[in-house]
Amino acid sequence: MANLIIDGLHKSFGSTRVLNGVDLALDSGEMLVIVGASGCGKSTLLRLVAGLETPTSGRITLDGRDVAQLDPSKRDIAMVFQNYALYPHMSVFDNMAYGLRIRGMSRDEIRKRVEDGAAILGLQPLLARRPRQLSGGQRQRVAMGRAIVREPKVFLFDEPLSNLDAALRVQMRAEIRRLQRRMRVTSLYVTHDQVEAMTLGDRLLVMHKGVVVQLATPMEVFERPANQYVAGFIGAPAMNFFPAELVLGGTAARLEAGQTVPFADGRREGADRRKIMVGVRPEHLALDTAGMTLSVDLIEPLGSETVIIGRLENGELVSVKVAGAAPPGETVAVSVLPDRVHVFDLDSGLRIEPVPSRTNQTRIFTSV
């Protein structure tokens, strides 16, 4: 196990700045999942930690030692790639053993480590095969086995499941999490997959344009997104956003679409008519005959639930997730659930938290 600290990390390719001062600290044995849109810098961050790129500035500290300028072979870090990166002419055994041979390890120790790793991943019957004789899931296990036998201080995963079909992704996701918990190796995991992001990590890091915009537990990121970008990025279907203004002394929002929504969790700071953005997840819109009229454009049946996509009378595009089948007709009426809204500043996009009630504030007395 190892502590990994990233301090003020910048990376530019020519005039293009990819990372803009990333600060990050991983506890020993922690699994951190990194998400963000393509081009946000998440894979570049991983490659900098691995030593495959050199930072423009900043520090990467592993157990108190700055490794930012060290050769990758001297960092004690193992990386699992999206495309497996196996040697096609080598057997499974030799692929897993190759890095250990480079280190000059004895034959007996190499065999023991490979056989132990193969046992953990269920690869014992496949040790004599070549990569072309393996399925995608088996190849990914071999790539993970090659990392495991090195017994590194840090695991790096760069979208390792993106080439697998849906069923295999579910299986491999569970295996990766089980393996990481069993070995308690500090791990960084990059993915585009929302389910992987929510289920694999102890914490979730959301990146945007080369900066960290939120770092928290997956459920905190989902339930209390730091800004409108995070709110729209995390969750599928994506969160709906309604332009609105504060009313009733900041205790409610009047949507441009027509509904006035009281804040169940408390008032927001600001004068009436302050422009805001109200975010509502599709599952937090309720079918309500007295609600806003939604003209249905598309219905997506998902079995136990259905996603309805349509437009309100003011032209806003809205997604609604309902249990069971969608009601018949070309229109439905929907209302926002007051206790499940997110409020953001219209200009900065930052989350606007409820103003603490006076009864909950701690009074501080100073002796004179």
Classify residue 63 as left (phi > 0), alpha (psi -120 to 50) or beta: left
At 289-312, the pLDDT tens digits run 889 999 999 999 998 999 999 999
At 331-344, the pLDDT tens digits run 999 999 988 899 99
CATH 1.20.1440.230, domain 237-354, yes or no = no
Provide the mean pLDDT of the chain: 91
At 47-80, the pLDDT tens digits run 999 999 999 999 999 998 999 989 888 888 998 8
At 72-111, the pLDDT tens digits run 888 889 988 878 889 999 999 999 999 899 888 999 999 9
Half-sphere exposure of 353 (CA within 13 A, CB side): 7
At 111-121, the pLDDT tens digits run 999 999 898 88
pTM: 0.88
Residue 93 pLDDT? 96
- Residue for token pair 């007395």: 365
Residue 367 pLDDT? 38
The CATH code that applies to domain 4-226 is 3.40.50.300
CA distance 164 to 135: 10
Three-state secondary-structure class, residue 305: strand
Question: Is residue 26 pLDDT above 60, yes or no?
Answer: yes
CB 46, CB 79: distance < 8 Å: yes
Residue 173 pLDDT? 87
CB 179, CB 69: distance < 8 Å: no
CB 273, CB 246: distance < 8 Å: yes
At 235-283, the pLDDT tens digits run 989 999 999 999 999 999 999 998 999 999 999 999 999 999 999 999 9
pLDDT band for position 320 (50/70/90)?
Answer: very high
Q: How distant, in Å, are the alpha carbons of 39, 57, 353 from that of 151? A: 31, 29, 44
Nearest CA to 184 out of 65, 26, 61, 23 is that of 26
Residue 1 pLDDT? 60
The angle formed by the CA atoms of residues 200, 203 and 208, to the nearest 5 degrees, is: 100
Pure H helices in the chain: 42-50, 92-102, 107-121, 136-148, 166-183, 194-200, 218-223, 228-233
Residue 363 pLDDT? 42
Q: How distant, in Å, are the alpha carbons of 147, 157, 267 from that of 95? A: 10, 18, 60
Question: Is residue 364 pLDDT above 50, yes or no?
Answer: no
Token code pair at residue 41: 């810098």
Considering all CA atoms of the chain, what is the largest pairwise distance in Å, rounded to the nearest integer?
81
Would you state the torsion angle of the CA atoms of residues 318, 229, 160, 101, taken in this order, to the nearest 10 degrees? Answer: 180
Q: What mean pLDDT do residues 215-223 have?
A: 96
- Residue for token pair 């929907």: 334
Phi first, then psi, for residue 301 (nearest 5°) are -70, 130
Say which residues have a Cβ less than 8 Å from residue 305's Cβ, sequence separation at least 6: 321, 322, 323, 324
Residue 358 pLDDT? 62
CA distance 341 to 77: 42
Residue 361 pLDDT? 47
Would you state the torsion angle of the CA atoms of residues 159, 164, 166, 170, taken in this order, to the nearest 10 degrees? Answer: -60
Question: Is residue 365 pLDDT above 70, yes or no?
Answer: no
CA distance 128 to 126: 6
* Tally of residues, the chain: 368
Structural domain boundaries of the chain? 4-226, 237-354
